[in-house]
Amino acid sequence: MRREAGRMTRPHHVNACVNVAEYGVSVNQANRVELLRKRCEATIRAFPGDVLEVGVYRGGTLVVLAEAVRRLSPGRTVIAVDTFRGHPYSDGHPVHPKGKYGDVCVAELRAMLAARGLSDYVSIEVGLAEEILPLLDLRGVTFAHIDCDLYKAIKFCASYLPTRISPDGTLFFDDFLHDHCPGATRALIEEFGAHIRAIQLDDGSEWSCELPVRLSGKER
């Protein structure tokens, strides 16, 4: 618990369930999107490089990351990985059934990016994270945003990425401690240990975690 404005507040680990969004609009809360923007910008200012996003849906946070790259690291790219057909499996939580977030037309996503002048800063890769990532050269990535919701994909990313992206890189996992994504929390604790902590915002919400690659404990 924490004290705020003379009263005790208890961190919460869940946001309102959102099942659909417009292209270029995130399903996440505005303060969480702003947190992501700040973390990405801080990293690529210190260590200019590419950005990776695993879990794109209709591009709400992809737009934010691409705008950061355009502004701070022109010539770099956001590598955007998703099935674009929804969850390929489920951890059994009712909020995240198989097929959720499958209402994506990649052509419409590309059109939205083009309309915002972001096409040159994004590379869209279609497929499962565990199948697509090993095919990509990720050595230039210095910021990775992982928002997969599900145990298997997050477990793979947590195991694979620390030894594949830049050693100066930062891993940002959106779903750690989120009540709708228990598989994400389990995967990250299995990979990095129970000492990792969620990021707490001023509204008392407490999920997502950030981990510098050099502190991940993974041997390169």
The answer to whether residue 185 sits within a structural domain is yes
Residue 27 forms part of a structural domain: yes
Count of domains forming the chain: 1
pLDDT score recorded for residue 11: 75
pLDDT at 220: 64
Does residue 55 belong to any structural domain of this protein? yes
Could you tell me the CATH number of the domain that includes residue 163? 3.40.50.150
- Tell me which residues of the chain have a pLDDT lower than 50: 1-8
pLDDT of residue 110: 98
- Domain-embedded: residue 81: yes
Residue 172, both tokens: 């940002």
Domain containing 148 equals 2-215
Q: Could you tell me if 43 and 212 are in contact, meaning their C-beta atoms sit under 8 angstroms apart?
A: no
pLDDT at residue 63, as a whole number = 98
| One-letter amino acid of 183 | G
Is residue 58 assigned to a domain? yes
Domain annotation covers residue 220: no
pLDDT of residue 18: 65
Does residue 197 lie within any of the structural domains? yes
Does 68 reside within a domain? Answer: yes
pTM for this predicted structure: 0.92
Residues 6+ apart with CB under 8 A from 9: 1, 2, 3, 204
- Contact assessment for residue 68 and residue 101, using Cβ atoms and an 8 Å cutoff: no
Contact 166, 49 (CB under 8 A): yes
Q: Are 49 and 21 in contact (CB under 8 A)?
A: no
Q: What is the pLDDT of residue 3?
A: 43
